[in-house]
Amino acid sequence: MIKKFINRLLGKDAAKPVTVLGTRTEVGVAEHGIDPSLLDERATRVVKTLQEAGFEAYIVGGAVRDLLLGRRPKDFDVATNATPEQVKSLFKRAFIIGRRFRIVHVVYGRGREHEVIEVSTFRALLTESSAQRVTGNEKTSKSELAGKSHVVDESGRVLRDNVWGPQVEDAARRDFTINAMYYDPARQMVVDYHGGLKDIRAKLLRMIGDPETRYREDPVRILRVVRFAAKLGFAIEPATRAPIVACAKQLPEVPISRLFDEMVKLLQTGHGLASLETLKAQGLGRGLFPVLDAVLQADGSLPEGPRGAFVRQALQDTDARVADGRSVAPSFLLACLLWHEVKSRWQALRAKGEPPVPALQQAIDQVFDARVGDISGRGKLAADMREIWLMQPRFERRGGSGPYGLVEQPRYRAGFDFLRLRADVGDADPALADWWEDFALGSDDDRAALIEDAKAAERQVRQHRATAPSGPEGDEAAGPEPLAGPAKKRRRRRRPSKGRGDGGAGEPGAAAGGA
């Protein structure tokens, strides 16, 4: 017992490095069946440029996996034996980024239409002799780490990994067999070291090496297991699944910004509902992400009733938008996840006598502090979420020039989509969403008539209140007032969004969040 304690204190009890090298197998087109039309021309150009300069170069990782599944990859990564400096010298617009892992971004195009091809250098295996261990008591600065190539903490988590090596070692240090294959588009040859092609055909997610060691090296691999299992519909190999719950205790050590990005990937890459189910199945439903803790029950499931229905519908619509090739933004989905907590705090503040808008602003600040925190680079995302929420009480006011100004707001469509989603699950009056849909799509005469209808409805409400008995049912402190009376115009059928879905000022998009 004492020996184990001392070893753990000295870092000797940490997980051992991966030593599974694998055997190089080259698979021709007759066996792998990759369709060249699914390739990205710019990624192929990067590979060709590196090869013509005398280096090895391959399309690698998830792109190869998707090509083998007959899917067009969203992103293309390239792996090479050229160093980052050598890669950078071959391209006009190339940038070396990263401290933990140094890679090169080769950029084509400009503005929104630009494309980034990520190029990484083959990395060597982590060994006991090459690793510099850092204990929790050591104060190691970034400048000190910069002089070291392999750095791990006392639990085995890799802090820095910039030692170059041969392809066989690069394959061994990748996480899953299905992500450790290389494709040469010139020879149409797949290089497979760990039986990845076989696992793809068996629909099996399997870790390379000892799973517990690999999770300790990078706890985010736990979330990648969940994401790939949900995305691909693959089973998790038993040995890969076994240490997940125990190793999940190391996830709080991961930088909060990286965890936040992984949560967004889980929810917004076309398989959000399946990801929640997989998290629950692996015992990871609660305790990982404060944002999800705001909506999930103790067993990791969505609650029944309007709250759960609202989140479920938002996830379903987001999945549908991704499947249709339409854009989505995290601000809309995150606004949906946190809306009912914002609303609950809003109602509580109004019950204490706070005016509606200041109460809502305070509620938003409280939820950001409790669920999002100070995440670097999230300023615009937070601003977009705030604007969506603050727009909701503005929809209640339909008189004067207010509606004309609101529909011209840059984020109007995102705010309306949010209102429509609320109405679809009973969280807002459907007549209110219908009125705004008619107003946004209507002519000048239509809009004037709608405003007159709204004025008449408001007069009826005031007359009713003047004659109705007072009591708890009439207490307005419980939240925003419901709309009185349906819109008189026939509801128009919603037109599908044809644009980028970026929350522009055009017609309302689908409730999935044109944000």
Report the distance separating Cα 148 and Cα 161, nearest Å.
9
DSSP 253: G
Looking at 40, 77, 417, 429, which residue is catalytic? 77
Answer yes or no: 77 catalytic.
yes
Rounded CA-CA distance 62/438 in Å is 44
Alpha helices, H only, 218-329: 220-232, 238-241, 244-247, 256-268, 272-281, 290-293, 305-323
Number of other residues whose CB lies within 10 A of the CB of residue 385: 28
| Residue of 40, 153, 161, 175 with catalytic role | 175
CB 330 within 8 A of CB 305: no
* Contact predicate 478/351, CB 8 Å: yes
Structure tokens at 470: 């007072």
- The number of beta carbons lying within 10 Å of the beta carbon of residue 497 is 22
Mapped onto helix, strand or coil, the DSSP state of residue 498 is coil
CB atoms within 10 A of CB 145: 16
Taking alpha carbons only, the member of 341, 328, 336, 461 closest to residue 396 is 461
Task: Check: CB of residue 73 under 8 Å from CB of residue 42.
Answer: no
26 forms beta bridges with 191
Residue 150 and residue 102 in contact, taking contact as beta carbons nearer than 8 Å: no
Q: How many other C-beta atoms are found inside a 10 Å radius of the C-beta of residue 252?
A: 11
What does the chain come to in residues?
Answer: 515
- CA–CA distance, 285 with 245 (Å, rounded to integer): 11
76 Cβ contact partners less than 8 Å away, ≥ 6 residues apart: 39, 40, 42, 43, 59, 63, 117
Distance in angstroms (rounded) separating the CA atoms of residues 438 and 400: 17
- The answer to whether residue 365 is catalytic is no
**CA-to-CA dists, residue 310 to 77, 306, 343, 381, 421, angstroms:** 36, 6, 13, 20, 7
Residue 506, CA atoms < 13 Å, CB-side half-sphere: 15
Query: How is residue 415 written in tokens?
Result: 């705010």
Going by their DSSP bridges, the two strands 150-153 and 132-134 should be labelled as parallel
444 among known catalytic residues? no
Number of other CB atoms surrounding residue 515 within 10 Å: 28
Q: Report how far Cα 90 is from the mean position of its chain's Cα atoms.
A: 32
**Which residues lie across from 189 on neighbouring strands?**
184
| CB 257 within 8 Å of CB 264 | no
Supply the residues annotated as catalytic: 75, 77, 175
